[in-house]
Homo-oligomer: A and B are copies of this chain.
Amino acid sequence: MTTSTHEHYAIDQPSSARRIMGHIEALAGPDHTSSVAAIRRYAYTSEYRRTIDYFAAAFRELGYDVWEDPLGTFVARNRPAGTPAFGLGSHCDSNRNGGKYDGTLGVVVALEVCTLAAELGLDLPLQVVSFLEEEGSGFGLMLLGSRIVAGDVTERELREVTAIDDGESLWTHAERAGHQPERWRECARVLDDLSGWLELHIEQGRVLQDTGGRIGLVEAIAGYVHADLTFTGRADHAGATPMGWRADAGLAAAETALEAERLAQRAGEGTVATVGRLELDPGLINVVPGRAWMTLDCRSPHQESFEGVARDLERYARRRAELRSLDLAWEERVTVPATQLDAQLVDRLDHSACASGTSPLRMISGAAHDTMYVAPRIPSAMVFVPCEDGISHSPQESADPRDAALGAEIMLNAIVAST
Residues from 250 to 285 in A contacting B, C-beta threshold 8 Å = 250-251, 253-255, 257-258, 261, 264-265, 270-280, 282-285
Is A90 engaged at the interface, CB distance under 8 Å to the other chain? no
Is A366's CB under 8 angstroms from B237's CB?
yes
Q: Determine how many copies of this chain the complex contains.
A: 2
- In the complex where A238-B299, A285-B297 touch, is A243 in contact with B258 (Cβ < 8 A)? no
Name the B residues within 8 Å of A297 (CB-CB).
238-239, 285-286
CB distance from A18 to the nearest CB of B (A): 28
Name the B residues within 8 Å of A285 (CB-CB).
226, 274, 276-277, 295-297
Is A56 engaged at the interface, CB distance under 8 Å to the other chain? no
Is A232 engaged at the interface, CB distance under 8 Å to the other chain? no
Is A289's CB under 8 angstroms from B276's CB?
yes
Is A207 engaged at the interface, CB distance under 8 Å to the other chain? yes
Name the B residues within 8 Å of A250 (CB-CB).
257, 275-276, 278
Is B272's CB under 8 angstroms from A283's CB?
no
CA separation between A274 and B239, bound complex, in Å? 9
Q: Which of A29-37, A42-50, A198-206, A404-412 contacts B (4 or more CB under 8 A)?
A: A198-206
Is B236's CB under 8 angstroms from A205's CB?
yes
Most-contacted residue by chain B among A270, A274, A284 (CB, 10 A) = A274
Residues from 183 to 228 in A contacting B, C-beta threshold 8 Å = 203-207, 210, 222, 224, 226
Is A288's CB under 8 angstroms from B261's CB?
no
Is A241 engaged at the interface, CB distance under 8 Å to the other chain? yes
Complex: chain B residue closest to A260, CB-CB: B251
Complex: chain B residue closest to A224, CB-CB: B239
Is A84 engaged at the interface, CB distance under 8 Å to the other chain? no
Is A177 engaged at the interface, CB distance under 8 Å to the other chain? no
Complex: chain B residue closest to A298, CB-CB: B238
Complex: chain B residue closest to A245, CB-CB: B206
CA separation between A276 and B226, bound complex, in Å? 26
CA separation between A262 and B285, bound complex, in Å? 18
Is A245's CB under 8 angstroms from B205's CB?
yes
Is A287 engaged at the interface, CB distance under 8 Å to the other chain? yes
CB distance from A171 to the nearest CB of B (A): 27
State which of B203, B251, B275, B288 has its C-beta within 8 Å of the C-beta of A258: B251
State which of B240, B296, B368 has its C-beta within 8 Å of the C-beta of A366: B240
Contact with B along A294-326 (1 / 0, CB 8 A): 011101000000000000000000000000000
Complex: chain B residue closest to A237, CB-CB: B204
Is B222's CB under 8 angstroms from A392's CB?
no
User: Apart from A205-B237, A205-B245, A248-B274, what are 9 other A-B pairs with CB-CB below 8 Å?
Assistant: A239-B299, A242-B366, A243-B271, A243-B272, A254-B254, A274-B287, A276-B285, A277-B280, A278-B278
